[in-house]
Amino acid sequence: MSDYSVNFVVMNLNIPEYISNYIAGSFQKPLNGQYIPNVNPAIGEIYSHTPDSSRADIEEAVGAAKTAFAAWSVTSAEERFKILNRIAELIDSNIDILAQAETNDNGKPLWLSKRLDIPRAASNFRFYATGLMHFATESHHMEDKAVNYTLRQPIGVVGCISPWNLPLYLFTWKIAPALAAGNCVIAKPSEMTPMTAYLLSIICKEAGLPDGVLNIVHGTGQNCGAAIVAHPDIKAISFTGSTRAGREIASVASPMFKKLSLELGGKNPNIIFADCDWDKMMRVTMQSSFTNQGEICLCGSRILIEENVYEKFKAELIERTKKLTVGDPLDDNSRQGAIVTKQHFEKVIGCIELAKKEGGTILLGGNSIQLQGRCMNGYFIEPTIIEGLGPNCRTNMEEIFGPVVTLQPFKTEDEAMMLANMSDYGLSATIWTQDVSRANRVAAKVHSGIIWVNCWLLRDLRTPFGGFKNSGVGREGGWDALRFFTEAKNVCIEL
C-alpha cells in the first residue's frame, strides 16, 4: 500500500490548508503560486485554500495527458474495469471523510452527503467500470458485396468541468465514462467546492490509475476553465453549470469543432393533479422543493396545482414547511443546511425581493436566518413559498437555485401544459396523477428532457440525461456518455 493510501485512511478530518493540483500523477502547487480562499458556508470562515491555476497549469496537464493517452487508449477493458472498480471501492470505504469534506465545502446536511452524494460517486465509477465491459458496436452485411463494422475509439484528451451543487456526484459522472472509454482527462471542479475532488486524486493514485490519465486542476472558470475550453489539444468538453457559462463555452468551443455536452439550468414544473396519491405527493414535493437547499438543477421550483385542490395544497405545504429544520449541517436533525457562498446567498435573497416587487405574496419564509453557536455567521435562508405571480415574470422564468418555490393554479390539462412549457428551460418535470392515460399524454407534451411520474430524482444510470431549450445540448448517462466520449469510425470491407 502506498503512502497516499496510508495518509488517506488515517487523515480523518485533517484537511490540508492548501489543496494541490494533481498533474502527471503528482501533487503540486499552482505554477503561479496563487490561491483562492475556500470558505465553509455554514460558519462563514475560510478553512482551506484552492489553487488559482492558470493556462500554464493546463498546458502542463495536457502534456501529461497526451503522453499517457497512447498506453491508456489501448489498455484492455478488463484492466480499465479493475482500476475504475477499485476507485469505487475506495470511495465506499472512505465515505465518512468524503461526506464530511462535501458538507464543509457545500453547506449541505452531512446525512445527505452520506446518503446521496458520496454513494452516487462510487456508483458512477462502478457503473462505467462494468459498462465498458459490455459496450459493443454494430456490423452491417451488404449481401454479396461487403461487410461494414463500426469502431468506437477514444477521442484523446477531453475536458470535464463540474459545478458546486453536487460536487463529487457530478464530477465523477463525467470523469468515469471518459476514463472508461479510454480517454485521458483534464478535470476542473468548482473552485467553491474543491475538497472532494482533491481527495479523489489521492484515491485514484492509490487505485493504480496510471499517471497522466486523470489530471485534476483547480481554479476559476475565468482562468482555469477558459484555458481548458480554448486549448486546441482538448477535443471534447463536458460541462455542467449555468446557461450563461454554457453559452460562453459554446461560443469558444464550437468554432473549434469540439464535441460538446452541456448540462445547464432548469426551472422545472411540478404538475399536481387532484387525483394524485396525496400523501406521497406532499412528501416528495417537499423533497423536490427544498432538498440540498434547493440547489439542485432538478428541483421543482414551479409548482402547478389543479385549481380545485389549490387551497388544500397551499395550506398543507405551508404547515409541512414550517416543520422543516434549517440548521447546522452536522446536526442529524437539520433538513436544510447553508447556502454555498455569501455571493449566492445574496443572489437568492435578491430574487426573493424581486418576487415582492413583481407582486408576489410571500406565504412563508423569505428571510435570512442567523443561527446560534458554531453557525452564527453562516449563510442560511428560510425555505420560501410564493404565490400570486404570473407565468411570464422573472421569478417564474429565471433560475433562482435556492430554497424558493412558487405556486400557480391551473383549471385544465391544457392550461397546465401551457404553464409548464412557458419557461425557456426544459430540464425536468414531475407529474402527479393516478390516471395512466393522462400521465402519458402530459409526459409527451411537456418540453423537458427528464419526466418523473409520481416520483422525483429516481435515476437509472442506464438512461439518457439532459434537457431541452436553454437547459443544454447533448445527453449524459448510460451508453450516451460512452458514445459522447468516443468517435465512431465505419470500416467497409468488400467481399
- Bridge partners, 428 (sequence order): 450
* Calpha distance 394→358 (Å, rounded): 8
Residue in the block written with cell 430554497: 403
Q: Which residues pair with 40 in a beta bridge?
A: 45
Longest CA span, the chain: 80
Q: Identify the CA nearest to 198 among candidates 21, 1, 57.
A: 21
- The single residue listed with the C-alpha cell 463529487 is 168
Residue 4's nearest CA partner among 169, 202, 209, 186 is 202
Q: Which of 297, 299, 351, 375 is catalytic?
A: 297
For residue 385, what are the β-bridge partners? 364, 405
* 204 catalytically annotated: no
Q: Among 272, 314, 284, which Cα is nearest to 438's?
A: 272
Backbone angles phi, psi at 349, to 5 degrees: -60, -40
State the Cα–Cα distance between residues 368 and 148, nearest whole angstrom: 63
- β-pairing, 146-154 vs 486-494, is antiparallel
Q: Contact, 390 vs 396, CB < 8 A? A: yes
Instruction: Judge whether 263 counts as a catalytic residue.
Output: yes
**DSSP E strands: which ranges in 62-130?**
none
Alpha-carbon distance of 403 to 380, in angstroms, equals 10
Q: Phi and psi for 407 in degrees, rounded to 5? A: -115, 135
Of 259, 262, 76, 72, nearest to 184 by C-alpha is 72
User: Looking at 191, 206, 263, 476, which residue is catalytic?
Assistant: 263
Distances, alpha carbon 402 to alpha carbons 290, 331, 350, 456, in Å: 8, 20, 11, 17
Best CA proximity match to 472, nearest among 419, 423, 421, 425? 425
Residue 494 CA: distances (Å) to CA of 95, 141, 144, 150, 309: 54, 10, 9, 15, 67
Which residues are catalytically annotated?
263, 297
